[in-house]
A and B are shown apart, each in its own frame.
Chain A
Amino acid sequence: MATVSLRDVKKSFGKTDVIHGINIDIADGEFIVIVGPSGCGKSTLLRMVAGLETVTSGEISIGDRVVNGLEPMERDIAMVFQNYALYPHMSVFENMAYGLKIAGTPKGEITTRVEEAAKLLQLEPYLKRRPRELSGGQRQRVAMGRAIVRKPSVFLFDEPLSNLDAKLRVQMRLEIKQLQRRLGVTSLYVTHDQVEAMTMADRMIVMNGGVADQIGKPLEVYGNPQTEFVGGFIGSPPMNFLNIALAKDMPTQAARLGVRPEHIQIAQTGALAHGKVLYSEALGAETLVHVKLADGSFATVRQDASLAQPEEGAQVGLAWSKADQITFDAHGHRC
């Protein structure tokens, strides 16, 4: 168990700066999700904490040790890779035991620890199998097991669920979260999936182009995005960005208006904007109505399935309460 702190951590490959200074203090046992689109530097950041990439400048500490110059093994971390990186010629048992074996752990203890982890992950029947004889979900569990048996003070996850099918992903994300709660190990989890970020994180770091746009609790980030990018990236369908002229009494620097799809209603009276329905997607519990506004921009309305579904091509009015609108300046920052 340990705290992790990043102090102005930067990374450049040659002359290209990929990470422009990240600061965060992670509490003991906290589950932090780093989320962002491909190429935003989230994996690089994680690999720097792991010790697989060097730190160009800044300081990474785990516990109260600065680990910048330490080898991955000396950092007391365990990592789960996207493609699991299981050793193909070793059995499940050997895969999980390998780190302990290198550390010189006594045989008896290795066996107990691996069996303990196998039990926790329901892998007991598979201990003798090779990775290729396992399904994707089981391999994922073995990779988790390999991390658990080392009893590290920090878990690092690099998009561990992206190779699984949708249903399994939902199941595994719950399992990982529960496991982390039970073990109470500080975790950093990288993903590009905002649903994973929302559901798993104690706090999340939303990264964009090597910068942490926002760090906060999931609902706080969702409800109160600090930049236009965060508003568009977190939430599905994304936040609607509308012409500032649709709202009155705005600060002078305001350039755009952000409103979440669920905060817009289709209403004839009190409508703030008007447009034509392009198409509706009925998802069962809710319906997404895509509207082309009079000024040419687009908006999505998320409404309960019990409400009347507008015809395609119909003219509708859109209304929202002033409390639900968020304004951004010309650079995409909150104002």
Chain B
Amino acid sequence: METREGMVEKRGAGLWLTHLGLIIGLLFIFFPIWLAFVASTVSQPEIVKPPMPLLPGDQLFENYRKALVAGVNAPVALMMLNSLIMAMGIAIGKIIISLLSAFAIVYFRFPGRRLFFWLIFLTLMLPVEVRIVPTYEVIAGFGMLNSYSGLIFPLIASATATFLFRQFFMTVPDELAEAARVDGASPMRFFLDILLPMSRTNIAALFVILFIYGWNQYLWPLLITTDPSMNTIVMGIKQMFPSGDDVADWPVIMATSILAMIPPVVVVISMQKLFIRGLVDSEK
């Protein structure tokens, strides 16, 4: 993509003012994260004693080691692994299912095609929270509490992603499918050889969004994982808060928070280029 000088020309004060505004906004958003980081590098007594420290202390390795290996209820390393499996499962599963269902809806004429599309579309209006009790019932019935499949499957079908791929497939010229037919490609072959590579950027963009969606799931894991070894990190942080008279180990909790932020950040940064391309232009 070519970079162009701003559409609207800005000079002098205007430019500085814009930057100043952006920097202030950035500091504003970054400050709590900074506080969390500072809190994760000092010792417990230093945190509780006012004033709150604003500069990192010397307990960084000690706190992070403690969080990763021991944690409070379960080691953070284990919780991160759980979260990773859940987020990857949701993201990849959602992408596979949506690609296939969008492919079916766009390229095949079967009875009830429109009906199915609208049914899928309707589920957009039902967030997880609305159907959480019946879903819990079903999952419990299948004996999937405290398991990865229980964490992943209820969240795996996605109307949003199906809709997005449908819109993309509809922009692919019909002639391409016809050319593939003349070339002798079966429908699945066309899907794998042509449609899938063409959707590359869309898949990447969606992966980023869905990974973060999966990683940040809170309510659902909270409901179905009672065993600390199945806790995911986002809900795990809450579980670390003391109940009753226990003393909160704030440095370890803060270290866990910082650790919980790393994977989504890594995913966004490493896929930034594809992600933006996927949202901005469609390659045809």
In the complex the two chains form, what is the Cα distance from A73 to B186 in whole Å?
10
In the complex the two chains form, what is the Cα distance from A51 to B176 in whole Å?
15
Q: Is the CB of A102 within 8 A of B283?
A: no
A85 at interface by CB-CB < 8 Å: yes
Which of B173, B198, B283 meets A85, CB within 8 Å?
B173
A229 at interface by CB-CB < 8 Å: no
B2 at interface by CB-CB < 8 Å: no
Q: Is the CB of A50 within 8 A of B183?
A: no
A71 at interface by CB-CB < 8 Å: yes
B173, B181, B182, B184 interface centre (most CB from chain A within 10 Å): B182
Chain B residues near A50 (CB-CB < 8 A): 178, 182
B197 at interface by CB-CB < 8 Å: yes
B19 at interface by CB-CB < 8 Å: no
Chain A residues near B193 (CB-CB < 8 A): 87, 98
B2 to chain A, nearest CB (A): 15
Chain A residues near B184 (CB-CB < 8 A): 71-73, 99, 102-103
A81 at interface by CB-CB < 8 Å: yes
Q: Which residue of A lies closest to B174 (CB)?
A: A85
Chain B residues near A313 (CB-CB < 8 A): none
B179, B193, B197 interface centre (most CB from chain A within 10 Å): B179
Give chain B's interface residue range (CB within 8 Å of chain A): 10 to 19
Q: Which residue of B lies closest to A52 (CB)?
A: B178
Q: Is the CB of B181 within 8 A of A87?
A: no
Give chain A's interface residue range (CB within 8 Å of chain B): 20 to 34
Q: Is the CB of A83 within 8 A of B173?
A: yes
A187 to chain B, nearest CB (A): 15
B194 at interface by CB-CB < 8 Å: yes
Q: Is the CB of B185 within 8 A of A89?
A: no
Chain A proximity mask over B191-209: 1 for CB below 8 Å, otherwise 0? 0011001101000000000
Chain B residues near A103 (CB-CB < 8 A): 184
8 Å CB contacts to A: which residues of B191-249? 193-194, 197-198, 200
Chain A residues near B200 (CB-CB < 8 A): 89
Q: Is the CB of B182 within 8 A of A73?
A: yes
Known: A85-B175, A102-B189. A79 touches B182 (CB 8 A): yes
Q: Is the CB of A83 within 8 A of B283?
A: no
Which of A72, A81, A99 meets B175, CB within 8 Å?
A81
Q: Which residue of A lies closest to B184 (CB)?
A: A73
Interface residues of A (CB under 8 A from B): 50-52, 71-73, 77-79, 81-83, 85-89, 98-99, 102-103, 146, 150
Interface residues of B (CB under 8 A from A): 173, 175-176, 178-185, 189, 193-194, 197-198, 200, 283-284
8 contacts between A and B (CB under 8 A): A50-B178, A73-B181, A85-B178, A87-B180, A88-B284, A98-B193, A102-B185, A103-B184
